[in-house]
């Protein structure tokens, strides 16, 4: 009887070990996929930040240019200031 119980315990432990091995492999795969997605998102975020910086610089340039043009026209008296 003790030998039979020991065999059942051994079989149970073996099955648990196989299940843990499978679970471990699945978790490693999922972890790798999540890391890859994270890296892609970080690259995408960086490129969008750079694009936003570029757009902001262009916007500042155009605002500065419009202000300069407006002041030139005001000095020449070519536009009236409305109040």
Each domain of the chain, given as residue ranges in start order, spans 1-76
Q: How far is CA 57 from the centre of its chain?
A: 23
Note the pLDDT of residue 54. Answer: 98
pLDDT in tens, 38-72: 999 999 999 999 999 999 999 999 999 999 999 98
What's the chain's average pLDDT?
92
Token code pair at residue 78: 């070519």
- On the question of pLDDT at 78 being above 90, the answer is no
What's the pLDDT score for residue 75? 86
Long-range contacts of 67-71 (CB under 8 A, 24+ apart): none
Q: How confident is the model at residue 79 (pLDDT cuts 50, 70, 90)?
A: low
Cα gap 70→81, rounded to integer Å: 11
């Amino acid at each position: 009887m003790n030998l039979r119980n020991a065999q059942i315990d051994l079989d149970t432990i073996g099955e648990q070990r196989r299940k843990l091995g499978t679970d471990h492999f699945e978790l490693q795969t999922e972890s790798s996929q999540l890391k890859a997605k994270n890296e892609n998102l970080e690259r995408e975020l960086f490129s969008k930040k750079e694009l936003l910086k570029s757009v902001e610089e262009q916007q500042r340039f155009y605002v500065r240019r419009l202000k300069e043009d407006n002041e030139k026209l005001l000095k020449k008296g070519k536009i009236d200031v409305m109040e």
